[in-house]
Every structure is written in C-alpha cells, then in structure tokens.
C-alpha cells in the first residue's frame, strides 16, 4: 500500500476526528452511561443525587410482571415478523427474478411501503383495523367469513397482530430487493446441472437457491432481528400499549417507565439487558457467517 | 418442445398474476389513505364504509385546511432543515472516516471498526435515556438543530460501513500514482476518493435522509415548542388530540409528507438498490 | 443524469438557506413559554392564539408569549421530564390533580410568598376554586377554570327506545341495557360511552354508589377502594361492559364525540366543553343533559378544572403578569365562550357568562368531589386503569382487583 514516510498522520487524524468525536460523544458515551445509570437509583424523586444502587434495578425489572408480558410480546413479534417478511420477500424476489417486463415497476411499487414513515403507516393501519373500520366491514358484510366485528385493536394479541401485519407489510420490499440481488449472483450453471440431475422446482430451490443465498439470509436475519426488537412507533401509534400495557413491547414499556413515571434507573436496566442480549445474539450470528466463509 | 413452451408460458402467467396480486395488496393501504384524505371529515364514519368516496363527495378541503391553517410549512421546513443538515454532515464525516479506515492500515482501525459494528447491533431507541440526559447537559433539549448531532451519530456506523466497503474496492493504482506525485492525504481524499465513492455516498445519503425525515421517538422526546416540531410529531400530535380524530386532516398531511420521499425514491431508485445490495451480498 | 443531479443539488441548497433562515430568526424581547392542553384544533386554542395572546402582548410591550399545546397526558409527562432537563416552561395550565405531584418535586413557585400583590389577585377569584392550589398552607397556582361532568343523552335514541332519562343508578343500569343493541343498519350501538378507565372516568360511579378511594386523610386505601360499595360500583360497571352496554375505552372504538354525534353512543358523562365541540362537528344531533344518576352515595360527579402555575425557572415578573391576565375578567369571559367555566368573580357576573348554559354544571360542582390530592396520584391513577382493565376483561373479579389495588395504594400513600 502506502509507505510510512508518505503517511501524513496529522491529516489522517484530522479526517478521522470529526466523525469519531460525534460518534463517541453521542453513541459510545451513552452506551457506557446507560450501564452506569442502570446501577443507580434514578427517578424524579432523586433528581439531584443518584446514589449507587447495585443490581436493585435489575431485580425490579425481572420481578416485574409487566416486564415478562412485554418481553414475550417482543419475542413473539420478532419470531413472526422476521421469518414472515423474509419468506414473502424471497418469494417475491424469485417471482421477479424470472420475468423481464415490468420488473422495475413491480420492484418500485413493492418497495414503497419501506419508504413510508412508521408514523404514517401505523396510523393508516390503525384506521383500517378500527373495530368499525373498512376491514371488519369487508370481512363481515362483503365476504361473510366473520359474523361480527373483530376487536383487532382491543386485545393483547389482536393489537400485536396488527403491529405484526404492519411490520411484515413494511419489510417485504427490503427483503425483496436484497434477495433479488443475491439470486442474481447464484451461478446459472448450477441450476442447469441440477436440472440434469432431475431436480424439480422445489429441489432446485432447496439444493441450489438456498445454499447460494445463505449469506444474504444470515445478513437479513441479523438486521431484522435487531429491527424486530426495535419496534416502537407502530405500537405507540396503534394501541399505545392498551389495554393496560398488554400490548407494550420492550421499548415502549421502557419509554413509558422512563418518561411517564420517571423510573430512569429501571428503564436503563431494561435497555441494557436488551442491548446486551441482542449483542450476544448478533455475535453468534456473525460467527455463523464467518464459519460459512471459511 | 411444444409442451415445455406451454408450461413456460403458464409459469409466466402465474408469476405475473401473483406479482400483480401482491402489488395490489401492498398498495391498498396507501390508496385507502389517499382516498380518505379526499373525503370530508364528517363522512368518515358513514355507513357502509367505502373504499373510494362517492364521486360527488370528493373534496380537497382537508388539503386546504392543512395548507392554510396548520403549521404545515413550519413543520415541513423544520424536517427539511434537520434532514438536509444530517445528510450533509453525515456524508462529510462518514466518508472521511471510511477513507481512512478503508485505505490505510492504522493500529486503531480495528478498534474503531469494532465499535462501529457493535453500535449497529444495538437498537437505537435503547439508548434514549442516556441520550436524553446528554441532551439535557448540552442544552440541546427543545432545540431544532439539537436533533442533528444525534441523527448524525446514529447514521455514522451504517454510513461508514457502506462507504468503507466501496472505498476498499477502489483500485490501489489510482491512488498510488498520486502519492508518487507527492499529493497530500487531503488531496487524495478530495480529488480521488470522494468522486470515486460518490455513488456510495449518494445511496447512503438517501437512507440517511429517510431516517431523519421520519424519525419520531427522539424528536418527540426532546422537542416541545409547536414551532420546532418536525412532520412526524405534527402528524402524531394531530392524532392524539382530544376525543375525536380528524382522520381526513391526518391523512392529507401524511400524503403531503410522503410526496417528497416518494419523489426522491423514484428519482434515485438506482442508488437505493445499490446501497441495499452492497451491504447484503458482501455480508 | 448530470443536469438532474445539479438541479437536485440546487434545490437542496435553496431549501437549506430557507430553513436556516427561519430557524434562527428570533426577537430580543422577553418570551414567556406557556404550556397548556387546549387541543390544537379547538375553539379554546383559537381564542388563546388569536384573541388572548395578541391582547396581552399589546398590553405588555416587550413580553412575547410562546404558547405550546400538548395532549393532556403528554403535558403531565413533559413537565416531569422537563424538570429533569431544566427545560420547564415559565407558566403552565395544569390539571388540578397534578399540583400536589409537581409541588412535591419542588418545581412550583409559592405565589403567596413571592408575589406581594397575591392577596389582591387571588381575591378576585372564587375561594372554592383557589382552594385547589393550596398545598401545605401555601398557594402554588391561580385557579383558571372549573368544571365537572354531567350526563349528555341523545334525545332521539332515548325516545325511540322508550327510555326515561335515568335519575337513579338502578334506572341507569336498565337504561344502558335497553339503549344497547343494533340500529337500523345492523350496527352495534351502546347505551353508554366511557373513553377511559382512569379516575376521571370511574370516580363518579364509585362515589355515587357510596364508595370511596381512600380515607379522609388520604393515608389509607384498604377498606375504601376495596370496600363493598366501591366493589359494587366496579362490578356493575364491568357487568355492563361485558353485556355490550358500555364501550369507548378500547383502542378500536369510535371516538366519543364521533360516536355520540352519529348515534352510536346514547349517553355519556362529559364536561361543559362538549357542547361547543358537538355544535362544531355534529350540529344536527339533538341532545339533552342531566345530572349523574344518584346511587347510595347521592349524585356525585368528579371535580375538574385547571389552575395556572408558575415554575421556579420562570421570568417571574413577566409570568406573573401573564397569569394575572389569563385569570382576568376579559380573558375568562372570552374563554367562557368556548365552554371554560370562569372562576373570576367579575367574569361570573358578566352578561356573556350569565347567558351561558352552565346551570347544570354549576349544580354538579356543588356536590362533586375532587380526586385524591396526593403527590402519587398519577401513579395511582395508572394502577386504577390497570385494575379496571383486568376487571372488564374478566381476568380478575372486582374484589380481587380492588384488593390488589388497595395494597398497592397503601404503599404509595405512605
């Protein structure tokens, strides 16, 4: 590469520094601070002094019934939306990969939900899934598969389902684009070879396509898992956690604890548990990716 | 041979049919939003509910209200100011970092890159409590421009990661020649690396724009003044007020908010795909 | 491609300049930040922005008012959070139920200590309303408006169902049942709307049934919130919910005003602002009003209202001027036109106010009770919602839920 003598250190540092400083101050420092806050008694009543509190906050988190409710909600949300959007996205990509005309048109239209903002999309879904809304009318009075209005937004799993449908709807386009790119990199001759071996469409998919896009699948898995636990705006807009925090997720509950009740220590502990477990999960997934490369 | 062709044609028809069906389902919510924004507020609980409003009931009054009476322009300019500042700053600092990380072998590279990957793993909202405390200490609460450093810091990891990948692929010979001519690091960065990496920077900037344009939780937490609210807070605020919701206004404002985003997306569709796939295929 | 990029860049540059310009244009006068929860599209907000603030600014050159509208619950949270971040406004319009909490945090100014002319100013306001601002012997706010809730009923729906306006709780239960069912379109209709399950909504029933939330001293909840009368009220309410007689607190329900206006809810318990709202959104609906039906405890509604308070960080001189202005005869009379009942004695004597149709509300205020005036009320209120939700969904019996709630409240009241 470049010889040491040529290396102008000051200029290199000058290039690195602005970004590094911003990054360190507004992202790295808060992560460290988060950990410290989780060990302190921080609430509205202890605004000035923030005494060290050991693992009390963590105890409070794990002994809190609502924590386990919202924890399960987040897990279910992730377990359903991640495979859901990946499967539909991949399927759409396979369909698109085989056509020539209108390919770009389909791609652009199917990507539109991704660029729609969460606030807007959530409100649209809330409106559609209203008890008196269009969907219930359609299901009941037009198609006739239900015999009353379904209370989509009013129950724990109803509300979460609407958020999950929104999550899948909004995520398909992203999956479609990255899987389409991956599919185009699978060598064509592999398909031809498998055809000679007598593989049908399903056989080709299992033996050629899937192994060929394994890397992309793992990449999507990591990104989407993080995204799944990051769900916030849709829940806040669609149910607001109602009824009685039954539809809250980890982050909306954390936010409620911090900004409505002032339990900043509790919120920090909850956040840290979340960040830490996701970090571990991602490292495992990264390892898997690296093993594949070797 | 003939039967094979028949099967192929049938397969094609099936493909197009499924795609068309999927497209219809994908777009229904958006079409319903537009159609709702075009009917009078009183007709929202009409019976039976309609997907399309009656022709004679079509009205632009919701748009008229938003454009005349609400603070839409202020919110719009606020969002534009924050988003554009964010992408400009992010492009500058991330490309510089990516250039150094991708083209020089420094001892700190691994450490920096490790942190970058680490922060990409942690969901942004988990840090909202310490970030709020930080904003308080720095007096950035209820400051429109105070949003910018946070947004920039959030997008730095992803932006640097993407641009770095692109920088690494710039052939070494191009730079080698400049070094021999005695060019400085700065010159090589601005004259060679930046222009060559511009497609990557462009695609990253589009994503950053979207991030800042639609960001809700943070802006809602730190901004108080009505005149400093960005579009997402304004829309959400419309919705939360009181015991009746003017869905017509909400959706008219939503449509107006989406227009620039959709325009940018359609105009820059190529960059989008590039940006997305660069990250995923390389892994 | 090239030209398009350039065009785009030029466009972006223009926008930037525009926005930077607008973001940094600020004056040199004193600015009072005033937070309130008049909703953004309401008549109250129009009056505030177009009548009151211009009048105040004309009277007081050199003082500008920056009014910020928050949603009710959000205003409470924003104040708490802003206290932590030193970003409090100068003045806020606070629900009377919040004052003890804010006072305990030490963010409110004791007006009787700091303002030399306090006695003169407060003397112009109703004593009963001013009493909502007294905590530990000091005044922390000026009374701004008062209210209570009464029954609004849809005349047509009651006539068609052959139902008399209920005057007792037994009649009320029967009326709600009779009014619920289906309309001509086959749509479900409900006899009663209750937009939430918080104290503001449930207390009138508890009190009218003869129950209570805590003891007189507000130190113990056990034996009160889980006492037989309270449990009976909660049970009756939950039973009606299960039978499809009451709705409104679910995320998917038709909003209160829309549902009442379109004949889907026959009755509701609401405040004086509702008349203006209905006149604006659903002018055709024929409705009447009545006091809340009486039970064992009488006809007891909930006392509402707002005070205007000053925070520690305020520009005290300017803030005090603004508070005096907002509670003046002129401002209170203007706000009266939007359904805010004045507490200014002179305003109450004015023709506009006398002409207003407040009699039933004023009557309700005479017997209405206030929610517990304790610092922990917001948290208690949230617990109450959680407990009520468990009862109406059938997850717990009324007795179980209230017993648990009583234990929690005892802790909070200590």
What is the residue whose two structure tokens read 């009054």? B61
Minimum CA–CA partner of B154 in chain A: A27
- pLDDT bin (cut points 50, 70, 90) of residue C17 is low
pLDDT at C216: 92
Which of B104, B125, B184 is closest, CB to CB, to A230?
B125
β-pair partners for C34: C67, C91
Report CA torsion sign: C252, C255, C260, C263. Answer: negative
pLDDT at B282: 45
How far A84 CA lies from chain B's nearest CA (Å)? 14
Q: Given an 8 Å threshold on Cβ–Cβ distance, is C251 in contact with A44?
A: no
pLDDT at A272: 92
Q: Find residues 54-73 of chain C whose CB sits inside 8 Å of chain A.
A: 73
State how far the Cα of C268 lies from the Cα of C289, in Å rounded to an integer. 10
Q: What is the complex's ipTM, to 2 decimals?
A: 0.89
What is the residue whose two structure tokens read 């159609």? B35
Please report residues of B whose CB lies closer than 8 A to that of A123: 235-236, 239, 250-251, 254
State how far the Cα of A37 lies from the Cα of A59, in Å rounded to an integer. 14
Contact B35, B248 (CB under 8 A): no
- As a whole number, the mean pLDDT across chain C is 89
> What are the CA-CA distances from residue A41 to residues A57, A266, B128, C199 (Å)?
8, 8, 17, 29
pLDDT at C286: 94
Q: Find residues 79-98 of chain C whose CB sits inside 8 Å of chain A.
A: 80-81, 83-84
State how far the Cα of C352 lies from the Cα of C2, in Å rounded to an integer. 67
Q: What is the CA radius of gyration of chain A?
A: 24
What is the three-class DSSP state of B241?
Answer: coil
Closest alpha carbon to A269 in A57, A24, A81? A57
List the domains of chain A with CATH numbers.
Answer: 65-293 (1.10.3720.10)
Contact B217, B125 (CB under 8 A): yes
Q: Given an 8 Å threshold on Cβ–Cβ distance, is A244 in contact with C379?
A: no
* Residues B170-195, mean pLDDT to the nearest whole number: 82
Among B48-57, C62-71, C76-85, whose mean pLDDT is lowest? B48-57
**Diameter over CA atoms, chain B:** 78
Contact A72, A158 (CB under 8 A): no
Interface residue A100 vs chain B (CB under 8 A): no
Contact B216, B236 (CB under 8 A): yes
**Diameter over CA atoms, chain A:** 80
- In this predicted structure, the answer to whether residue A199 has a pLDDT above a threshold of 50 is yes
Q: Given an 8 Å threshold on Cβ–Cβ distance, is C252 in contact with A259?
A: no
Closest alpha carbon to A219 in A275, A286, A279? A286
Please report residues of C whose CB lies closer than 8 A to that of A151: 250, 252
Q: Which of A73-82, A128-137, B40-49, B205-214 has the highest mean pLDDT?
A: A73-82
The end-to-end CA distance of chain A, in Å, is: 26
State how far the Cα of C283 lies from the Cα of C275, in Å rounded to an integer. 10
What is the three-class DSSP state of C143?
Answer: strand
Contact C405, C384 (CB under 8 A): yes
Please report residues of B whose CB lies closer than 8 A to that of A134: 32, 49, 51
Q: What angle do CA B125, B131, B137 make, to 5 degrees?
A: 165
Which of A2, A16, A33 is closest, CB to CB, to B133?
A33
Contact B160, B221 (CB under 8 A): no
- In this predicted structure, the answer to whether residue A67 has a pLDDT above a threshold of 50 is yes
What is the residue whose two structure tokens read 């997402």? B232
- In this predicted structure, the answer to whether residue B223 has a pLDDT above a threshold of 80 is yes
**Diameter over CA atoms, chain C:** 81
Closest alpha carbon to B146 in B256, B223, B229, B59? B223
Q: Given an 8 Å threshold on Cβ–Cβ distance, is C250 in contact with A262?
A: no
State how far the Cα of A112 lies from the Cα of A97, in Å rounded to an integer. 19
Summarised one tens digit per residue, pLDDT across range C187-204 is 899 999 999 999 999 999
* Residues C388-412, mean pLDDT to the nearest whole number: 95
Q: What angle do CA B135, B136, B142 make, to 5 degrees?
A: 75
- In this predicted structure, the answer to whether residue C23 has a pLDDT above a threshold of 50 is no
| Helix (H) / strand (E) containing C181 | strand C181-182
What is the three-class DSSP state of B184?
Answer: coil
| Neighbour-count burial of C117, counting CB atoms closer than 10 A to its CB (0-12 exposed, 13-18 middle, 19+ buried) | exposed
Contact C316, C109 (CB under 8 A): yes
pLDDT at C280: 82
The end-to-end CA distance of chain B, in Å, is: 41
| Helix (H) / strand (E) containing C306 | strand C303-310
Q: Find residues 258-287 of chain A whose CB sits inside 8 Å of chain C.
A: 259-262
Closest alpha carbon to B32 in C9, C193, A130? A130
B4's CB contacts (< 8 A; 6+ apart) are: none
Give the pairing type, strands C150-154 and C265-270: antiparallel
Q: Given an 8 Å threshold on Cβ–Cβ distance, is A134 in contact with B251?
A: no
Which of B45, B133, B242 is closest, CB to CB, to C262?
B45
* Residues A257-269, mean pLDDT to the nearest whole number: 90
Please report residues of A whose CB lies closer than 8 A to that of C389: 243-244, 246
Which of B80, B243, B249 is closest, CB to CB, to C256?
B243
Summarised one tens digit per residue, pLDDT across range C325-338 is 999 999 999 998 88
Closest alpha carbon to C374 in C218, C264, C253, C246? C218
Chains that touch C (3 or more CB pairs under 8 A): A, B
> What are the CA-CA distances from residue A253 to residues A67, A73, A275, C253 (Å)?
8, 11, 15, 23
State how far the Cα of C98 lies from the Cα of C95, in Å rounded to an integer. 6
B262's CB contacts (< 8 A; 6+ apart) are: A112, A115
Which of B132, B160, B261 is closest, CB to CB, to A115?
B261
Peptide bond into C29 cis (omega under 30): no
- pLDDT bin (cut points 50, 70, 90) of residue B266 is confident
Summarised one tens digit per residue, pLDDT across range B61-75 is 889 988 987 789 999
Contact B178, B192 (CB under 8 A): yes
Closest alpha carbon to C103 in C89, C126, C117, C83? C83
| Angle between the N-to-C axes of helices C398-413 and C377-392, in degrees from 0 to 180, rounded to the nearest 10 | 170
Q: Which of A195-199, B82-86, C337-341 has the highest mean pLDDT?
A: B82-86
Closest alpha carbon to C41 in B34, B76, B250, A236? B250
Q: Where are the beta strands (DSSP E) in C27-168?
A: 30-36, 63-69, 91-95, 134-135, 138-139, 141-148, 150-154
Please report residues of C whose CB lies closer than 8 A to that of B212: none
> What are the CA-CA distances from residue A230 to residues A284, B122, C211 (Å)?
19, 9, 44
Contact A215, C226 (CB under 8 A): no
State how far the Cα of C345 lies from the Cα of C361, in Å rounded to an integer. 17
Contact C374, C100 (CB under 8 A): yes
- Best of A162, A239, A244, A246 to disrupt the C interface (most C CBs within 10 Å) is A244
Among A1-10, A270-279, B33-42, whose mean pLDDT is lowest? A1-10
Contact C141, C99 (CB under 8 A): yes
pLDDT at C83: 86
């Amino acid at each position: 590469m470049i010889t040491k003598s040529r290396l102008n250190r000051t200029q290199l540092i000058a290039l690195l520094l602005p970004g590094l400083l911003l990054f360190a101050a507004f992202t790295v420092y808060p992560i460290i601070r988060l950990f410290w806050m989780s060990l302190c008694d921080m609430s509205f009543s202890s605004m000035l002094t923030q005494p060290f509190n050991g693992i009390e906050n963590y105890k409070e988190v794990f002994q809190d019934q609502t924590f386990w409710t919202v924890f399960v909600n987040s897990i279910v949300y992730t377990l359903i939306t991640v495979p859901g959007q990946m499967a539909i996205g991949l399927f759409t990509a396979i369909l698109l990969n085989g056509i020539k005309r209108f390919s770009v048109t389909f791609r652009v239209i199917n990507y539109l939900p991704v660029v729609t903002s969460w606030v807007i999309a959530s409100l649209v879904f809330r409106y559609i899934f209203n008890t008196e809304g269009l969907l219930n009318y359609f299901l009941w009075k037009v198609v006739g598969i239900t015999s009353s209005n379904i209370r989509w937004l009013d129950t724990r799993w109803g509300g979460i389902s609407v958020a999950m449908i929104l999550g899948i709807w909004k995520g398909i386009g992203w999956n479609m684009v990255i899987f389409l790119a991956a599919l185009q990199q699978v060598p064509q001759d592999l398909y031809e070879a498998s055809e000679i071996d007598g593989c049908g469409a399903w056989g080709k998919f299992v033996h050629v396509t899937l192994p060929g896009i394994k890397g992309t699948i793992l990449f999507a898995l990591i990104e989407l898992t993080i995204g799944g636990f990051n769900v916030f705006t849709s829940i806040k807009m669609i149910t607001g956690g109602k009824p009685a925090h039954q539809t809250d997720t980890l982050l909306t509950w954390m936010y409620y604890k911090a900004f409505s009740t002032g339990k900043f220590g509790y919120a920090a502990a909850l956040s840290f548990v979340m960040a830490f477990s996701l970090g571990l999960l991602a490292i495992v997934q990264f390892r898997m990716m690296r093993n594949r490369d070797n | 041979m003939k039967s094979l062709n028949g099967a192929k044609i049938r397969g094609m028809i099936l493909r197009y049919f499924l795609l068309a069906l999927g497209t219809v389902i994908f777009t229904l919510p958006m079409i319903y939003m537009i159609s709702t924004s075009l009917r009078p507020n009183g007709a929202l609980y009409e019976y039976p509910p309609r997907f399309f409003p009656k022709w004679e009931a079509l009205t632009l009054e919701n748009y008229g209200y938003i454009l005349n009476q609400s603070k839409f322009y202020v919110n719009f300019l606020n969002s534009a100011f924050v988003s554009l500042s964010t992408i400009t700053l992010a492009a500058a600092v991330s490309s510089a970092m990516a250039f150094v990380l991708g083209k020089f072998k420094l001892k700190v590279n691994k450490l920096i890159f490790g942190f970058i990957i680490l922060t990409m793993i942690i969901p942004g909202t988990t840090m909202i409590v310490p970030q709020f405390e930080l904003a308080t200490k720095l007096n950035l609460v209820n400051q429109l421009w105070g949003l910018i450093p946070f947004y920039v810091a959030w997008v730095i990891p992803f932006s640097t990661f993407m641009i770095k990948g692109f920088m690494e692929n710039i052939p070494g010979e191009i730079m080698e020649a400049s070094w021999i001519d005695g060019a400085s690091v700065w010159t090589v960065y601005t004259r060679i690396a930046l222009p060559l990496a511009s497609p990557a920077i462009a695609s990253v900037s589009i994503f950053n724009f979207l991030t800042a344009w639609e960001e809700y939780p943070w802006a809602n937490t730190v901004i108080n003044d009505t005149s400093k609210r960005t579009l997402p807070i304004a829309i959400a605020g419309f919705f939360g007020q009181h015991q009746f919701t003017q869905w017509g206004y909400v959706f008219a404002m939503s449509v107006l908010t989406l227009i620039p985003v959709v325009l940018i997306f359609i105009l820059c569709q190529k960059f989008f795909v590039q940006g997305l796939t660069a990250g995923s295929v390389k892994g | 491609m090239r030209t398009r990029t350039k065009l785009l860049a030029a466009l972006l540059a223009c926008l930037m300049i525009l926005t930077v310009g607008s973001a940094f244009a600020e004056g040199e006068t004193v600015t009072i930040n005033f937070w309130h929860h008049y909703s953004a599209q309401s008549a109250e907000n129009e009056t505030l922005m177009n009548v009151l603030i211009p009048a105040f600014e004309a009277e007081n050159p050199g003082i500008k008012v920056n009014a910020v509208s928050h949603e009710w619950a959000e205003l409470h949270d924003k104040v708490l959070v802003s206290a932590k971040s030193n970003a409090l406004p100068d003045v806020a319009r606070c629900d009377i139920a919040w004052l003890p909490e804010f006072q305990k945090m030490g963010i409110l100014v004791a007006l009787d200590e700091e303002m030399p002319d306090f006695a003169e100013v407060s003397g112009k306001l109703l004593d009963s309303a001013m009493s909502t601002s007294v905590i530990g012997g000091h005044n922390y706010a000026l009374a701004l408006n008062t209210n209570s809730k009464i029954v609004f009923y849809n005349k047509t729906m009651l006539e068609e169902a052959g139902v008399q306006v209920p005057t007792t709780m037994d009649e009320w239960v029967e009326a709600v049942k009779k009014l619920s069912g289906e309309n001509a379109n086959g749509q479900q209709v409900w006899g009663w709307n209750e937009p939430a399950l918080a104290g503001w909504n449930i207390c009138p029933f508890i009190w009218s049934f003869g129950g209570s939330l805590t003891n007189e001293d507000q130190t113990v909840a056990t034996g009160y919130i889980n006492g037989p009368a309270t449990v009976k009220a909660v049970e009756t309410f939950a039973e009606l919910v299960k039978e499809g007689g009451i709705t409104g607190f679910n995320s998917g329900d038709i909003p209160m005003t829309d549902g009442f206006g379109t004949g889907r809810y026959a009755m509701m318990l609401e405040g004086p602002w509702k008349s203006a709202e209905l006149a604006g959104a659903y002018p055709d609906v024929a409705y009447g009003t009545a006091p809340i039906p009486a039970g064992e405890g009488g006809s007891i509604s909930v006392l509402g209202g707002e005070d205007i308070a000053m925070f520690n960080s305020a520009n005290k001189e300017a803030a005090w001027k603004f508070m005096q202005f907002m509670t003046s005869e002129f401002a209170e009379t203007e706000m009266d036109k939007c359904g805010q009942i004045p507490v200014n004695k002179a305003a109450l004597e004015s023709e506009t106010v006398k002409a207003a149709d407040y009699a039933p509300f004023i009557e309700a205020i005479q017997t209405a009770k206030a929610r517990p005036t304790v610092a922990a009320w917001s948290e208690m209120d949230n617990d109450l919602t959680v407990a009520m939700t468990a009862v109406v969904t059938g997850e717990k019996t009324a007795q179980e839920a209230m017993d648990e709630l009583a234990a929690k409240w005892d802790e909070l009241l200590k």
